[in-house]
């Protein structure tokens, strides 16, 4: 079938003779051609090759070039006495046709320029081609010489392009003979959107004529797979505008395709409307245009207006949770040019290439509109896909909203994709484009990169620890933009401690988070979720303290406590601290480890520190055969930072236990109020300890206690031997 189409195409072009433009003459300067290869008719008359463009399509290619006839003699030279053809290294020749009607007589001291086009096989390289010049002598040809295509292209710094040259007169006879538009292939992206698989293909159109053109409605584009099946493509960006002469214009086409479509053997065909089965005006091999990057790899941003901008998925993580597979990714834009670049408006989606499911994400962080040279900005995206998916089959699709750059702070429409088996798993709400050759809506989002998430984890068994960011205790988290935590609130981890509950066979980790209001008005206290994941993938949910304040005053900080129940075997030296918004979407993941309690010196109970300088214990015996103990403490209590503490803050509990860790008596004290613990000498009384409960090795344990919905969470601070 391809051979039949090719033959019909050649027949349809057999009468092609592009119409006249103007005859270009320039004053001849010998120095202008210094170093350029030439074919000499005499010492003062010679041919040169210039403006060579070699295009490779899917089934055939084209060679376009300008032949200069340099006349430095004292009399005119008639180009009509000469002919031109293209030859390859095997001696096969290809017809070269003038693409302009020009006056063939070149005056003395001038240079005549003659533009040609030749159809050649697509597999020929510049090194295999020459432009051969011959002289007509009574209907016979006398070879004059040949010019190297490769040498002319190297001199001009040109390379072979994936292009198709479309003569618009073959579609509409009202177009001029020289109405030729080239379509150069850019990148292609396969994206699951609005319940369908779509292929987006970037094309650069260039008008080779000398007058402004528009693509005719009679032009039809189709993708054809290796089985010969065709899928209609539509322009959704850039095609409705005027094509100015010699001015490239980027356009994008969209094609709805089956989920199982393979890129191998895929071609883009240009045909008269309704005649794709019989007439192909040009074709491009699309198979190699699908570019899927890897995590950490950067590439040039696919927009000529943003030259020098690099885009890279610098980090990605996957973590299996009870509600699905949580995905996170950072996409970094870096300005590697010497000028200022406008930041494009980016969004993203996570898609499963074998399951027809996707979920969208947006980063609404406030950022500047421009990047200075060597400056970077990072977009953070997150989403939840079904838990059974494997990261090897997941991709991150980054798209740019058309119709304006810079940051948009509109609310993101995020959701969880669900594989229903009917291809309706996408939660994307973007515009899929318009029909025909009309330009797309200004609000359309078009893909600019796809990254495989292979390596972000090991499918359903992944752990978020290895992909969590390094973190220093006390520094604000770099949270993904979200609608839960106001941008004027800084959140940081200020303390992480663990103690063992021997009676119940588990340990308790207590985390303290400091929330700081940097704004000028009171802000609501955010109710974020959190959990801990160890390096083996085990996850422990956090329980927030039972009672908290409703708001934070401006220029103040507040401490929130979360507790985590962990197995007795947990060492907690390698933990990922994960924070989530109200929709259980990750907004940050950070490496953490519990802080050991110092054996000497002050102990931190943020925002306080307590040092026990000295202590003594005395006992009295009562008539009811019970004992009372009095603990005398010499304390040094300091406030580390001016952080708001209220009745909801943690308390100190003193427990008297015997050698079997049985509780004999207890006493609670707070950091606020009339009987608060303070620096200096303090007495704590423990009474009603029966004599039969006593044995040797009685001791007093000092705990920090936080009230949670799961009960009191205790952290052992100190043990005082009696």
Where are the domains positioned within the chain? Answer: 2-156, 163-289, 298-458, 489-592, 603-721
Which one has a higher pLDDT value, 686 or 496? 496
CATH architecture for segment(s) 603-721: Sandwich (2.60)
Classify 2-156 by CATH class: mainly beta
Give the model confidence (pLDDT) of 55-81 as tens digits: 777 677 788 898 999 999 999 999 999
Does the pLDDT of residue 460 top 50, yes or no?
no
Give the model confidence (pLDDT) of 323-373 as tens digits: 788 888 889 999 999 999 999 999 999 999 988 899 998 887 777 889 999
| Band (233; pLDDT cuts 50, 70, 90) | very high
| Band (52; pLDDT cuts 50, 70, 90) | confident
Single out the residue of 133, 131, 160, 156 nearest to residue 145, CA to CA: 133
What is the mean predicted confidence (pLDDT) over 507-535? Answer: 91
Choice among 156-170, 263-277, 385-399, 593-607 with the minimum mean pLDDT: 156-170
CATH code: domain 163-289 is: 2.60.40.1240
Give the model confidence (pLDDT) of 247-301 as tens digits: 899 999 999 999 999 888 899 999 999 998 888 888 888 988 998 999 888 899 9
CATH 3.60.20.30 fits 489-592, yes or no: no
Dihedral, 105, 107, 108, 111 alpha carbons, nearest 10: -90
Burial class (CB in 10 A: 0-12, 13-18, 19+), 239: buried
Give the model confidence (pLDDT) of 649-663 as tens digits: 888 899 988 877 788
Q: What pLDDT is stored for residue 437 in this prediction?
A: 40
Give this prediction's pTM: 0.59
Q: Compute the distance between CA of residue 614 and CA of residue 601 in angstroms, rounded to an integer.
A: 11
Please indicate whether the domains covering 2-156 and 163-289 agree at the CATH topology level. Answer: yes
Task: Please report the beta strands in 353-485, taking only residues with DSSP state E, as ranges in sequence order.
Answer: 357-362, 370-371, 376-385, 394-401, 425-426, 445-452
Give the model confidence (pLDDT) of 150-194 as tens digits: 998 888 777 777 788 888 988 998 988 788 898 989 999 999 999
Write down the mean pLDDT value for the chain. Answer: 81
Q: What pLDDT is stored for residue 78 in this prediction?
A: 92
Does the pLDDT of residue 679 top 70, yes or no?
yes
What is the mean predicted confidence (pLDDT) over 483-489? Answer: 86
What is the mean predicted confidence (pLDDT) over 477-495? Answer: 86
| Band (146; pLDDT cuts 50, 70, 90) | very high
Q: Compute the distance between CA of residue 556 and CA of residue 518 in angstroms, rounded to an integer.
A: 8
Q: Both tokens of residue 387? A: 């838990």
Burial class (CB in 10 A: 0-12, 13-18, 19+), 410: exposed
Does the pLDDT of residue 584 top 90, yes or no?
no
Does the pLDDT of residue 130 top 70, yes or no?
yes
Q: Compute the distance between CA of residue 714 and CA of residue 654 in angstroms, rounded to an integer.
A: 11
Does the pLDDT of residue 4 top 60, yes or no?
no
Does the pLDDT of residue 11 top 50, yes or no?
no
Most confident option among 218-227, 424-433, 453-462, 685-694: 218-227
Q: Compute the distance between CA of residue 99 and CA of residue 372 in angstroms, rounded to an integer.
A: 45
Q: What pLDDT is stored for residue 693 in this prediction?
A: 58
Q: What pLDDT is stored for residue 410 in this prediction?
A: 35
Bridge partners of 220? 271
């Amino acid at each position: 079938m391809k051979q039949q189409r090719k033959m019909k195409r050649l027949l349809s072009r057999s009468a092609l003779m592009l119409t006249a433009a103007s005859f270009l003459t320039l004053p001849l300067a010998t120095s202008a051609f210094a170093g350029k290869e030439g074919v000499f008719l005499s010492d003062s008359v010679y041919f040169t090759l210039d403006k060579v463009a070699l295009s490779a399509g899917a089934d055939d290619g084209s060679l376009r070039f300008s032949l200069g006839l340099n006349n430095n003699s004292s009399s005119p030279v008639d180009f009509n006495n000469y002919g031109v053809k293209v030859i390859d290294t095997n001696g096969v020749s290809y017809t070269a046709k003038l693409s302009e009607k020009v006056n063939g007589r070149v005056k003395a001291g001038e240079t005549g320029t003659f533009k040609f086009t030749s159809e050649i096989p697509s597999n020929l390289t510049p090194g295999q081609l020459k432009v051969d010049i011959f002289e007509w002598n009574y209907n016979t040809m006398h070879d004059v010489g040949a010019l190297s295509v490769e040498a002319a292209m190297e001199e001009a710094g040109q390379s072979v392009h994936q292009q198709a040259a479309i003569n618009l007169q073959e579609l509409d006879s009202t177009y001029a003979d020289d109405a030729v538009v080239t379509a150069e292939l850019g990148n292609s992206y396969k994206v699951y959107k609005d319940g369908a698989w779509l292929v987006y293909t970037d094309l650069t159109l260039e008008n080779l004529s000398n007058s402004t053109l528009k693509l005719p409605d009679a032009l039809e584009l189709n993708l054809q797979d290796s089985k010969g099946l065709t899928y209609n493509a539509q322009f959704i960006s850039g095609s409705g505008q005027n094509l100015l002469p010699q001015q490239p214009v980027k356009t994008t086409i969209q094609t709805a395709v089956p989920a199982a479509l393979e890129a191998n053997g895929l071609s883009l065909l240009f045909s008269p409307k309704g005649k794709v089965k019989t007439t192909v005006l040009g074709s491009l091999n699309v198979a190699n245009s699908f570019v899927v990057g890897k995590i950490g790899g950067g590439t040039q941003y696919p927009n000529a207006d943003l030259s020098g901008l690099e885009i890279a998925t610098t980090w990605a993580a996957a973590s299996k949770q009870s509600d699905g597979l949580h995905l996170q990714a950072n996409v970094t834009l870096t300005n590697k040019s010497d000028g200022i670049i406008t930041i494009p408006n980016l969004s993203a989606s996570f898609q499963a290439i074998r399951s027809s499911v996707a979920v969208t994400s947006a980063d609404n962080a406030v950022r500047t509109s421009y990047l200075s040279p060597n400056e970077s900005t990072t977009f953070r995206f997150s989403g939840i896909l079904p838990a059974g998916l494997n990261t090897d089959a997941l991709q991150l699709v980054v798209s740019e909203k058309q119709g304006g750059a810079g940051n948009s702070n509109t609310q993101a429409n995020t959701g969880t994709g669900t594989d229903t088996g009917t291809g309706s798993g996408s939660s994307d709400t973007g515009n899929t484009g318009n029909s025909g050759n009309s330009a797309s809506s200004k609000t359309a989002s078009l893909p600019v990169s796809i990254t495989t998430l292979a390596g972000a984890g090991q499918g359903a068994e992944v752990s978020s620890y290895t992909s969590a960011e390094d973190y220093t205790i006390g520094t604000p988290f770099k949270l993904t933009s979200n609608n839960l935590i106001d941008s004027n609130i800084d959140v940081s981890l200020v303390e992480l401690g663990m103690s063992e509950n021997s009676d119940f066979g588990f340990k308790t980790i207590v985390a303290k988070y400091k929330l700081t209001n940097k704004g000028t008005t009171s802000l609501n206290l955010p109710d974020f979720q959190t959990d801990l994941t160890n390096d083996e993938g085990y996850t422990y949910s956090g329980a927030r303290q039972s009672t908290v304040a409703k708001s934070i005053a401006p220029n103040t900080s507040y401490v929130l406590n979360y507790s985590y129940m962990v197995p007795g075997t947990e060492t907690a030296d390698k933990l990922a601290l994960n924070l989530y918004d109200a929709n259980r979407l990750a907004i940050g993941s950070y490496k953490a480890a519990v802080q050991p309690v110092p054996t000497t010196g002050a102990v931190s109970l943020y925002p306080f520190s307590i040092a026990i300088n000295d202590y003594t214990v005395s006992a009295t015996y009562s008539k009811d055969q019970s004992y009372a103990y009095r603990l005398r403490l010499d304390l040094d209590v300091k406030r580390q930072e001016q952080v708001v503490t209220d009745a909801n803050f943690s308390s100190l509990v003193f427990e008297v236990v015997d050698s079997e860790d049985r509780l004999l008596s207890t006493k609670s004290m707070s950091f606020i109020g009339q009987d608060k613990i303070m620096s200096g000498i303090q007495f704590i009384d423990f009474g009603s300890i029966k004599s039969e409960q006593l044995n040797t090795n009685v001791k007093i344990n000092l705990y920090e206690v936080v009230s949670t919905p799961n009960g009191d969470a205790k952290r052992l601070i100190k043990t005082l031997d009696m």
